[in-house]
Amino acid sequence: VLTEKLRIALLLPYKVIGRYASSTTNASFAYLIAKNHSFELKSYKIESESVEDIQKALQQISQDGFYYVIAPLTQKGANAIGEINPDMNIFFPTINKKDITSTSSYLVYGGIDYQAQSDMLLKEAVSPLVIFYDKSSIGKKLSLYEEEKFIYDGIDQNLSSEEIEAQIVDANKTVVKFSIPKRTTNLEKQLFENEEIIEGSFFINTPIVKTGMIMSQLTLYDTNATNVLSTQINYDPLILSMTQYEDRKNMIIANSITQNNNILIETNSLLGNDIVYDWINYTTTVGVDYFFNLATREDREYNIALEDNQMIYPIELLNPARYRFIKHISTIEE
């Protein structure tokens, strides 16, 4: 059992991650206070996610005697660390291993799996699948992934391209995609009397405010949506206050924040921090918990499997009901 101080470093590209620089710090701090074990938590700011900036910070972290690093970086920063290949334990709360090629045993990925969430949601989808997305990298990546998965799912990829085409036609699956620019507030030209989308499943890959706008207009323009699907992006209590119940009653949201600990929730809220809905703060907490277990051999608070250096979060499907999120009961025949 560890008797000396547990020392954790935070590697923070302030300019890139904005408010997450302070909220991931708070999440780490809240966890360590709640554990009542002596600790030292130190932040290392980096100007950019270049290999040079990161390497310099990691050398400093190592000289200062820290073995455990929480690194809320973007994919660029995580790739840079993969190149440097340091021999210290680094946890990325923001990155899923599917997006990275590193094989280092020291690097652990805590980002949620948007693809696995999309797969689960697409089981609920009917044709036409109407995909809304914005210009963010996650929006673009998900819309491409969902389109391909929906069209090719269940089709034998070993067939010739003609046979695959024929199977796609037989399956009668159509996809309609709308990229919604930042300032757009009216979707009349996409939705009004558009026969191609009536009674479809609408997959929304946009942040919460834009999602609220899209959903009110799906009702306004009588699209008769079979359902509205969304990943973790829209698991947010704002959806309950920003949309009318009528607009969201057929909405299904995938969520991977499925385990929580009341003491940690309370300690975070004292610091003005949210680990109930904010997945990056949640995954940061899971990372600090993982390091705490490595260092002290005490049981982990979060019973989340680690496979091939990636945290595997359970996924649940929820409906934003009148006043809260409730479990989605699927009507799909397995």
Question: pLDDT tens for residues 187-215?
Answer: 888 888 888 889 999 999 999 999 999 99
Task: Assign 4 a pLDDT band (cuts: 50, 70, 90).
Answer: confident
What DSSP line would sit under 242-290, residue for residue?
HS-HHHHTTEEEEE------HHHHHHHHHTT--SSS-HHHHHHHHHHHH
Question: Bridge-partner residues for 178, per DSSP?
Answer: 132
Judge whether residue 100 has pLDDT over 80: yes
Position 287 scores a pLDDT of 97
Question: pLDDT tens for residues 266-282?
Answer: 999 999 999 999 999 99
Q: Are 101 and 82 in contact (CB under 8 A)?
A: yes
Position 2 scores a pLDDT of 58
Strands (E), the chain: 6-12, 39-45, 68-70, 89-92, 107-109, 129-133, 175-179, 201-205, 227-230, 251-255, 305-307, 310-312, 316-320, 325-327
- Global pTM value: 0.93
